[in-house]
Amino acid sequence: MIEMLDIHLILLPLFGFIIGLLVSTLGGGGGGLYVPVLILIFGVTPQVAVATSLASVLPTTAVGAFSHYRQGNVDIRTGLILGIGGIIGTLIGAYIANNIPSIILSKILGIFTLVMVIPMAASALKRRKNTGEDKGDKDKNESLRLTGPKRIIASFFGVASGIMAGVFGISGTPPVIAGLYSLGLPAAMVVGTSVFVLIFNSVAGIGGFYLLGRLDLTLIILLGGGSAVGAFIGPLILKKIDPNTLEKSYAPILVTTMLILGLALLLA
């Protein structure tokens, strides 16, 4: 028992570091990775894994968002609109999770993920056609001014992200990234702002699962501590990547990943 615990003391922070590094570089909070790692590798029950995931997302997103903010990659105003929607969505998601069978929820997530690909792919094609007309340097750190319909659209993506977090115990990254990308933020700003938005989902999730008594502080400290270190280093790596290269590769990678995830959930 002690030997197994010692192994976990080493592996949990290591996995947390790797996940924190990946998500802070590519965007998101890491919830979609925490849950399978905890269940498949560490034998944690699904309920505790979901709660631990949402709690562990907080240090990842907080440290990652701060680091991205220092690099000028966070649009605070747009992020707040999506974040408030995320809180509402997380509470709605928790209610849905208690009333719909998990198999049906899995199918819904698959369909929803595929739907999120549509606006993101359309925006990527439009941006590619306009390449060369407006240089990325001009808009690199420029915040969006959302008015009218765009505020509603941004709120919708925020609520959708929160629902995913509350129902499935994941950070809710796909709707946030799809929404930010569709609204026209440069790739680096999409990454940084998405990490900022997911803080709201995590806080709402922690509150809900704390009331349900599903938080394991040992798992949270070990996994979250390692992820926080990785999340801090990620943006420093992102800064060294050429913006044009990131802009060209970001959308294809994410669209492909979302397609695979959506189809896998539908066929599971």
pLDDT digits (tens, 9 = 90+) for 219-254: 888 888 888 888 788 777 777 777 667 666 666 776
Percent of the chain at pLDDT above 90?
A: 4
Per-residue b or e along 1-32, where b marks 16 or more CB atoms closer than 10 Å to that residue's CB: eeeeeeebeebbbebbbbbbbbbbbbbbbbbb
Per the prediction, the chain carries an average pLDDT of 76
pTM across the whole model: 0.65
**Which of the pair, 199 or 138, is modelled with greater confidence?**
199
The predicted pLDDT at position 3 comes to 46
**Which of the pair, 143 or 91, is modelled with greater confidence?**
91
Inform me whether the pLDDT recorded for 136 exceeds 80. Answer: no
Predicted confidence band of residue 85 (pLDDT cuts 50, 70, 90): very high
User: For the chain, first and last CA: distance in Å?
Assistant: 34
Among candidate residues 53, 265, 248, 243, the one with its CA nearest the CA of residue 165: 53
Predicted confidence band of residue 134 (pLDDT cuts 50, 70, 90): very low
Q: List the structure tokens of 50.
A: 């979901």
**Which of the pair, 27 or 59, is modelled with greater confidence?**
59
Residue found by looking up tokens 């609204």 in the block: 183
pLDDT digits (tens, 9 = 90+) for 149-158: 667 777 888 8
pLDDT digits (tens, 9 = 90+) for 87-124: 999 878 877 776 777 677 667 767 877 887 787 677 66
Inform me whether the pLDDT recorded for 79 exceeds 50. Answer: yes
* Greatest mean pLDDT among 71-75, 115-119, 264-268: 71-75
Predicted confidence band of residue 128 (pLDDT cuts 50, 70, 90): low
Per the CB < 8 A criterion, the answer to whether 43 and 211 are in contact is no
Inform me whether the pLDDT recorded for 174 exceeds 60. Answer: yes
What gap in Å lies between CA 88 and CA 200, rounded to an integer?
10
Helices (runs of H) and strands (runs of E) counted in the chain: 11, 0
Task: Return the amino acid letter for 9.
Answer: L
